């Protein structure tokens, strides 16, 4: 496997808290898939988990762009999912999926982290 591109992003949790206070469900519906919303809303501090997902989506966009894709990728085109052990992964849809296919991407790796103040994500795109 070869690394095609890497994306990294940080998001301030306080910014997400303010956004949720102002726009609530409307913002969540725009930024997250239904499964992501359910996951985040079940957490004690949803803003931390929303921030991590936004960071992952932005990192994915950066990685796809770095790999040569100039397609517009919407928030809904990238979904953070979890495997049976709870490890995060990515599911790509629509333009993100098309861009990844054009780049020969066979695997997307993601790592998420968050504290009270910040969330971060790194995405590594691989091909065989």
The residue segments making up the domain with residue 56 are: 2-127
Secondary-structure breakdown of the chain: helix, strand, coil percentages, each rounded to the nearest 5 = 45, 30, 25
Q: What is the pLDDT of residues 40-78, one digit of tens each?
A: 999 999 999 999 999 999 999 999 998 666 667 889 999
For the chain, the domain total comes to 1
CATH label of the domain that carries residue 26: 3.90.470.20
Query: Distance between CA atoms of 41 and 127, rounded to whole angstroms?
Result: 34
pTM score over 0.85: yes
Q: And the tokens for 21?
A: 């206070």
Residues 6+ apart with CB under 8 A from 57: 31, 75, 78, 80
Angle between helices 34-41 and 13-31 (to 10 degrees): 140
């Amino acid at each position: 496997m070869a690394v095609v591109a890497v994306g990294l992003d940080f998001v301030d949790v306080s910014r997400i808290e303010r956004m949720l206070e102002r726009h609530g469900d409307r913002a969540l519906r725009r930024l997250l898939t239904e499964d992501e919303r359910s996951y985040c809303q079940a957490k004690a501090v949803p803003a931390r988990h929303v921030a991590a997902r936004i960071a992952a989506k932005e990192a994915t966009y950066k990685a796809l762009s770095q790999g040569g894709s100039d397609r517009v990728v919407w928030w809904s085109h990238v979904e953070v999912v979890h495997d049976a052990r709870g490890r995060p992964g990515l599911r790509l849809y629509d333009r993100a999926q098309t861009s990844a296919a054009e780049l020969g991407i066979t695997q997307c790796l993601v790592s998420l982290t968050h504290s009270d103040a910040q969330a971060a994500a790194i995405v590594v795109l691989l091909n065989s």
